Structure 1
Amino acid sequence: MEGEMESRTPSIIDLNAELAKLTMFRGRTPQSTMADRKGSGARLASYRDGALFTTKFAGKGHWESHLTGDELIHILDGTATLEIVREDGPQSFALGAGMIAVIPQAAWHRFHSPEGVTLMTATPSPSEVIELDVDDPRTVGASRHEARRVDANSRMEREIESGTPSIVDLNAELAKLTMFRRTPQSTVEDRKGSGARLASYRDGALFAIKFSGKDHWESHLTGDELVHILDGTATLEIAGEDGPQSFALRAGMIAVIPQGAWHRLHSSEGATEMTATPFPGEHIELDVDDPRTVERKPA
């Protein structure tokens, strides 16, 4: 893809600090209102065509469906059961701390947690919601006066497809990896064993990586990249209008890197990260201060 990519400032979130502000909302039901849930959840940042959210709750959520893309769920603490509608009916998946679920675009789903759960989501919009405690939300279609379907933009009327989620035990996947000291010229073969592709996600994939050293410059042409530092520390460099800027990241912090922005990470002591990376991308395997001064190389 040719053309100039805009430079913008990343969103940097201290997830641990945001979680400390929240209280567990117990007794959640599908009918719980935003006023009921006040103080138990937060909008963290804009992300692609939606936003990042975090919430703490016990009880049962409403059925929901996201019309424009997959939803990413990361269980940060506690346990929950994910119910998702497939062609042969709803199916349940047990999730615990450190697990990830990718909910397919337009699939009806909900969560319930008797003991309590803390989770983070990357949620696209618009969405539809059914605030009835039914076993299968598709049975409500003929009686929409009994349910409130919320479409944030246009109240789109359409059939919702069923899907199977990708479930990833992130802790188990991380245990398989070894730390690798990178340079901008490190090849895929050099990095073997230090990273893993976890699952497909929207127009790209989820990755887990353990690294120290300095990575290459890269930019993603179709959407924002989400970077979650799971352990260690790293410095994010991003090409801004006035030149590269640096942002210090540590375990529990998240960065949303804008679409088309040139960036790289480096870590002297080592860092473990999870990324949601859109395709295609471009990268530059030269250790330069500003990647915009050199010719781009397709990834």
Structure 2
Amino acid sequence: MPKSVSITISDEFSRIKLLKNRTPETSEEEAKNAFALLSEYRDGGVYIANYSGSSEWERHPIGDEFVQVLGGETTLILLDGEIEQRNTLFSGQMLVIPKGVWHRFESPNGVKVMTITPQPTEHSLELPVGM
């Protein structure tokens, strides 16, 4: 059995840096210091991130994603057909995104977030209508 190790989330946030003005075009290289994998979990992992700005569209075809806001706020936009459902989340709130649902984040004032994210993740810079 693998050894379990406790993780202090605040300590992990001290190891990453705020990514200011994230855009859907932000490269993985530009964003790498704002994200961290805390632990592998099932078919994906537990991640943290600290950024302001907005993300590209993404979806997870094999499982639900758990999103918990630990600081700041974000608007998590889920795509239902061609309709964008906007969910504003503040520190202490969470949302489960059903598998296969396209979604993106808008966080103009900054957010610290923890996710349990299944892999693989699909990405789209454009509104994924009909995908």
- Structure 1, 81-90 or 106-115: larger mean CA deviation: 81-90
Shift of 1:125: 0.7
Correspondence for 2:84 among 71, 87, 90: 90
Matched residue, 2:30: 36
Matched residue, 2:15: 21
TM-score relative to the length of structure 2: 0.93
Which one-letter code corresponds to 1:92 in the other structure?
R
The structure whose RCO (Cα within 8 Å, separation 6+) is larger is 2
Is the CA contact 1:66–1:126 (under 8 Å) kept in the aligned structure 2?
yes
Structure 2 gaps, min length 5: none
Q: How far apart are the structure 1 equivalents of 2:7 and 2:125?
A: 31
Correspondence for 1:119 among 97, 103, 113: 113
Highest CA radius of gyration, 1 or 2? Answer: 1
Other structure's SS at 2:30 match: coil
Deviation per CA, 1:18-43, whole angstroms, max 9, x where unpaired? Answer: 10112211111111111111211111
Other structure's SS at 1:27 match: strand
Is the CA contact 1:59–1:112 (under 8 Å) kept in the aligned structure 2?
yes
Q: How far apart are the structure 1 equivalents of 2:110 and 2:44?
A: 25
CA 1:11 to 1:115, structure 2 compared with 1: closer, same or farther past 3 Å? same
Matched residue, 2:129: 138
Shift of 1:88: 5.5
Which one-letter code corresponds to 1:112 in the other structure?
E
Q: How far apart are the structure 2 equivalents of 1:84 and 1:52?
A: 21
Other structure's SS at 2:16 match: coil
Shift of 1:14: 1.6
After superposition, residues 246-261 of structure 1 pair within 5 angstroms as none
Which one-letter code corresponds to 1:90 in the other structure?
E
Other structure's SS at 1:35 match: helix
